[in-house]
Chain A
Amino acid sequence: MNPLIPNPDTIPLPAPAWLLEALLVLTLFLHLLPMSLLMGGGTLTVISEFLGRRDDRHRMLAQATARLLPALVAFTITLGIAPLLFLQVVYGPFFFSSSILMAWPWLSTVGMMLLGYYGFYWHSFQFERLGRRAVWVTLASTALFMIIGLLFTSNMVLMLSPARWETLYRAGRSGLHWDLAEPTILPRFLHFFVASLALSGLGIAILGAAKAKADRTFGAWVRQYGLRWFVTATWLQFAVGLWFLASLPPSIRSRFLGGGAVETGLLIVALALAVISLLTIQRWLALGTATILGTVALMVIIRDRLRAAYLASEFDPAKLAVQPQIAVFALFVLILLCGIAVIAWMVWKFAVATTPRSE
């Protein structure tokens, strides 16, 4: 075992590790949806704002998507808290170590989040007044969120590589490292980014389907345009995914290529679902959406297995001491259900109030 890995906390886990990991996977999946729509949606909004200078349809589309960005930031942050909480509870010694090594870059994400968030609000409320300059605000905010994404990827990779820690620690102890030399970081980040373009394309297609009720030609165009992004990005993803796979250390890679039955099986099903989605989405939007969400969910599980493979020789969460807090957990589940019900009620009331009555 690597001597730099801090001892796990002496306080036992408040629930079995599998439960905490299941919650980690579930909430990460929920976080990735708005996160993807934010990063990809920001990028596509910038593109449509530029194209909108000559094409009215793009101008209208950009206006519609830009309005959603502030709320997407809120969803992304809110849904991002839970997976990071469960990650720290189970993988604390790894996460804290890598975060401290890259302390200042890591801390800077907070400032960038604030600036990027206000940027989207500024854009949303001052759209008319900003005029042609509006696109630069979207571009800057989107760029900030992309840098945040890259920093997250870096930290998530660094926490899995205790072997890198010593080199960085000896090179400098001021927490200024931003270690991009690790060969998996760039393909891993691109994997997320291309997925976010695909999911945002899909989101735009769904927006188009909804708009078609009020304006048929515009709606149909939006739907087609969004699907083009979805299909192109998903095909491209096969190439990026291969690159990512190739960049993994051989012993870990082989687990996903026949070495491990579960890992390989998950990957095959995830890819099959993606192919089904590509083949059906033009005709059946709902089916194509459901299958690609299945791919995303499986990919989150695969990602979790990848982490386990990285840490296999150092750490096994199942061996941590456990002292379950059953009553508090039950309370959490109860409050979670109430919370979901309350949010659903508010959203329903809002949806009813904002849907134009049938003409």
Chain B
Amino acid sequence: MTIGLIAILHVFVSHFAVGGGLYLVLAERKAYRENDPAILDYVKGHSFFFVLVVLVFGAVSGVGIWWTIGLVSPAATSTLLRVFVWAWAIEWVFFAVEIAAAFIYYYGWDRLDRQTHLAVGWIYFVAAWLSLFVINSILTFMLTPGRWLITRQFFHAFFNPTAIPSLVIRTMVSIALAGLYGLVTAAAIPERRLKAKMVRYAAGWLLPASLVLPLGGAWYISQIPPLAREISMGGSPAVMIFAGLSIALSAILFIFAFFGPFQRPQHFNLPFAFMLALIGLSVTGVTEWVREAVRKPYVIYGYMYSNGITRREQEAIQREGALAAAKWVTTREVREDNHQEVGRNLYEIQCASCHTIDGFNGMRFAVKGWRKEFIDFQLRHLSELKGFMPPFMGTEAERRALAGWLANLNPKITPITEPLAQRKVPPIAMATGGARVADR
């Protein structure tokens, strides 16, 4: 949950960080070409907003994602670090250049000559885009590790099947988000002529994305694993609804942007701008959620399950037991009297990276009303019954213990054999409660 929240905000801001850089330099160049100092003042104001949002929030939320994935999926994080350490290091260089350029761009207004100032702006944009280029490949690797699964070669991992289509999509999204943010700052311009001009200019930034995104999306979907495609197109209702929402909201956003600010910039206002930005944020949110959801039951497709267990470890765990293979457990054997403890340990090893007990994806809710035998049946056929979940890995005794622990999450149910009249009913509810029983 935390990871999702930080991630969505970070994705929103960091894509803007890329596209916004291009927006700044092109708007600055427009000001010089048209010799319009009013546009220049607007760009200066926009760059202040840009620094506060991007440099601070973008950078810190990126750190936040890193912290969170290390806590939630240390095994996957470790793998991504080892496969890609030099890619991360290269990305770090681009990031450092990006930050330095952003500072010099911002503090360089009125100090640097025009040529140099524009050059610094271009450096910013190129470095930011290159940073996206690197991160994008690492992200797509998780869903489509491609030939790396066999060769374990860095370049096979980096140029994996969805890397390029995803790069096209993310670049377009960056440009569109730059337009959205531009709309917010442009809508706040008090002077009417300039406002209309800049609103129309910013709205124009949304148009290329509306044309390219459907094509990029189709290309991307053609490259993802069949199971992932199935999940997003009906296999799992929730994922399908979100995927549909992503497309529908994008369409609404582009239609609004075209007929609103692009066609009638003079009527555009700040609340409208915020509403468009909010839709943009929602699109980001649902799309990233779908991207994460279709990867299940893996965190690195075909290599490591969502709970951090690799397929290579799977067999040994099946044979020797999950407790024997695990490190952080309070007990290592299943006895008659410790089923509860074993179940809790197994939950922490194999379930807790996606499920909490009472909160997000809560287990208590998931097994509500299920008896131990039914839970055990579910666990035995987990990956067949729920395609997006990894199989249960462990010995039979361990599985029974987990089933027992899960069944115990249910409230104690009064046995049905007890006569109705003897059941404890709260005195105040007596009359209505009794009436309802009588109705039946």
On A, residues with C-beta under 8 Å from B are 3-7, 9-15, 20, 23, 71, 74, 77-79, 81-82, 85-86, 88-89, 92-93, 95-97, 99-100, 103, 106-107, 109-110, 113-114, 117-118, 121, 169-170, 173, 175, 323, 325, 327-329, 331-332, 335-336, 338-339, 342-343, 346-347, 349-350, 353-354
> Is B149 at the interface (CB under 8 A from chain A)?
no
B104: which A residues are within 8 A, CB to CB?
Answer: 346-347, 349-350
Which A residues lie within 8 Å of B86 (CB)?
Answer: 14-15, 325, 328-329, 331-332
Query: Is there a chain A Cβ closer than 8 Å to B120's Cβ?
Result: yes
A106 lies within 8 A of B71 (CB): yes
Candidates A7, A89, A114; contact of B85 at CB < 8 Å: A89
Among the listed stretches B95-103, B167-175, B410-418, which one makes contact with chain A, having 4 or more residues with CB under 8 Å of it?
A: B95-103
Number of B interface residues at 8 Å Cβ cutoff, please give it. Answer: 58
CB-based contact B78/A92 at 8 Å: yes
Q: Interface segment, B53-61, B222-230, B429-437?
A: B53-61
Of A4, A346, A350, which is within 8 A of B111 by CB?
A: A350
Name B's A-contacting residues (CB within 8 A). Answer: 2, 6, 52, 55-57, 59-61, 63-64, 67-68, 70-71, 74-75, 77-79, 81-83, 85-90, 92-97, 99-101, 103-104, 107-108, 111-113, 116, 120, 123, 127, 152, 154-155, 310, 312, 327-328, 330, 348
Contact B82 A342 (CB under 8 A): no
Contacts of B77 on A, CB cut-off 8 Å? 88, 92, 96
CA distance A5 to B74 in the complex (A): 13
Please determine whether B310 and A14 come into contact, CB atoms closer than 8 angstroms: no
B154 touches A100 (CB 8 A): no
Shortest Cβ distance from A57 into chain B, in angstroms? 26
Q: How far is the CB of B360 from chain A (nearest CB, A)?
A: 15
12 contacts between A and B (CB under 8 A): A5-B327, A11-B79, A11-B82, A78-B95, A89-B85, A96-B78, A107-B64, A117-B56, A339-B93, A346-B101, A346-B104, A349-B116
Query: Who on chain B is nearest to A125 by CB?
Result: B48
Which of B52, B57, B92: most chain A Cβ within 10 A?
B92
Q: How far is the CB of B159 from chain A (nearest CB, A)?
A: 12
Is there an interface contact between A106 and B100, defined as CB atoms closer than 8 Å?
Answer: no
Nearest A-chain residue to B120, judged by Cβ: A346
Q: Is the CB of A13 within 8 A of B82?
A: yes
Chain A residue contacts of B59, Cβ below 8 A: 74, 77-78
* Cβ A346 vs Cβ B100 within 8 A: yes
Residues of B within 8 A of A100 (CB): 71, 74
Across the interface, name the chain B residue whose C-beta is closest to A2: B327
Whether A4 and B56, one on each chain, are in contact in the complex, defined by CB atoms closer than 8 angstroms, is no
**Assembly CA distance A113 to B64 (angstroms):** 10
A30 to chain B, nearest CB (A): 10
CA separation between A93 and B88, bound complex, in Å? 19
A341 to B127, CA, bound (A): 13
Given A5-B327, A117-B60, A170-B330, answer yes or no on A110-B67 (Cβ-Cβ < 8 Å).
yes
- Contact between chains at B67 and A88 (CB < 8 Å): no
With contacts A353-B108, A353-B113 known, is A107 near B71, CB below 8 A? Answer: yes
**Chain A residues in 8 Å Cβ range of B330:** 170
Expressed in whole angstroms, the minimum distance between the Cβ of A347 and any Cβ of chain B is 7
Whether B60 lies near A354 (C-beta < 8 A) is no
| A110 with B60: CB separation less than 8 A | yes
Asked whether, in the complex, the Cβ of A339 is within 8 Å of the Cβ of B78, the reply is no
Tell me if A353 and B112 are in contact (CB < 8 A). Answer: yes
Q: Is the CB of B107 within 8 A of A350?
A: yes
A110 and B64 contact, CB distance less than 8 A: yes
Per the bound structure, the CA–CA distance linking A338 and B88 in Å amounts to 16
